Structure 1
Amino acid sequence: AGEAPADRLKALVDAAVQPVMKANDIPGLAVAISLKGEPHYFSYGLASKEDGRRVTPETLFEIGSVSKTFTATLAGYALAQ
């Protein structure tokens, strides 16, 4: 039998995210993807190295001083579409 679409999406996201996390020593990361209007959430690693708390779809991350860059990038993508 073929791989389920959700399993294939997870495999693709895993293949993209895990090497980046390893190469950049990123302890934890959350990814959200909207595919055909359906949200998909993926959580990787630790939210806190101190207490070993894992990242979940509900984990809040501080983006600090990169918020303007992040907003400008998203605005650029929106304009391109």
Structure 2
Amino acid sequence: MNAAIQPVIQEHAIPGMAVTPDGNRYYFNYGIASKGSGQPVSEDTLFEIGSVSKTFTATLAAHAI
């Protein structure tokens, strides 16, 4: 997992991320959740999904039609 995630973090300057492969109940946490406090990412960190939810909404609406 580390070999796949570390290059992505460095290439895109991602401060932190959490990965839950295959929806299993184990976590791989990387980096920090807040640049201000330096708080590390944990399995309890909440991430904003931004405009990605619009894609899900449009897909569900199209599927419903």
- Fold agreement, TM-score > 0.5: yes
Which amino acid in structure 2 is aligned with residue 62 of structure 1? E
Tell me the equivalent position of 1:33: 21
- With normalisation by structure 1, the TM-score equals 0.62
Runs of 4+ in 1 over 6 A off after TM superposition: none
- Alpha-carbon RMSD: 2.0
- The structure with the greater share of residues assigned to strand is 1
Relative contact order higher in (CA < 8 Å, ≥ 6 apart): 2
Which amino acid in structure 2 is aligned with residue 64 of structure 1? G
Structure 2 portions without partners, runs of 5+: 61-65
Which whole-Å deviations, capped at 9, do the CAs of 1:11-37 have from their partners, x for residues lacking one?
Answer: xx11111100000000000000237xx
Percent of aligned positions with the same letter in both sequences?
52
How many residues are aligned here? 58
**1-side partners of 2:34 and 2:11: how far apart?**
19
- 1:1-80 mapped onto 2 (5 Å cutoff): 13-34=1-22, 38-69=24-55, 71=56
Which amino acid in structure 2 is aligned with residue 60 of structure 1? L
- With normalisation by structure 2, the TM-score equals 0.76
**1-side partners of 2:25 and 2:4: how far apart?**
18
**2-side partners of 1:26 and 1:49: how far apart?**
11
